[in-house]
Structure 1
């Protein structure tokens, strides 16, 4: 059993900062605590982005679904080519039924899974991060967010935010979607 497998409650800590240096200091402390960088975000309103010209927008890296689809497609193509190469090798004896099983068995699973995943992703409303929308409340500051922290760690991070000039610091319980909630209870 993983050490945090039984942990079901986590928090998102967010707060506003008026200076880039403040955010850098909080970020450095969070990294020293061992919080992965991908659990930390900075959000700005459009007007605040004009104030912090040293920051630049980056591509959204939360495109796991797109990469999963690309991986399924690459796996399909590679496994199909490999299966065909094995079947077509001269002197390799295989029955006609076995050839269809080798070619279609795992590949159909990849195709069906990718198709169902694509339909699910297309029909599902996008996950707009409600906590990140807080950035729209202020035009003079940037919003720093730290996600998925256990209660004790969340309180520590809240203190770090306060020490470095964080304003309107908020701790909000992390909301799980139904699939995550079901897997967390197992």
Structure 2
């Protein structure tokens, strides 16, 4: 019923307290179907009826799917229902990694505000690396700032020393003859 997107069919079912988290043979459930169809009203109704916002199917939560599709409204609805922005699939991809390569800076901003980890990595690819590949300057700037904000004291010190040296003209790569830079 949720797959059809027909609220007239789903609403009476919700009133009879059916188990919304039961999965089909394929592993999908009502919330995953609603998110897949993009029906925000259905997503909200299912979440209000206690559907699990962190259910997994084929390595994706509803939030991961929404982020991958750059669906800001669905992302907000799922975040309000306490979907975990740091859940990862078998490849280590999180909603933020999936959103980083997209076209919605607002979606990335929402995930960061919800404490999505900007240092999460999938096979060494952090959200920042994915954003660089996607070439979206606004997303890239946001993720750079978020990643810098999570640096440890030692990482900050090393960054500041390097930045200071390059500011005063030090060529960190050194001469091309292999003799070193200092």
Is this a same-fold pair by TM over 0.5? no
Structure exhibiting the larger radius of gyration computed from Cα positions: 1
For normalisation by structure 1, the TM-score amounts to: 0.25
Name which structure has the greater RCO, CA cutoff 8 Å, separation 6+.
Answer: 1
| Higher strand content, 1 or 2 | 1
For normalisation by structure 2, the TM-score amounts to: 0.25
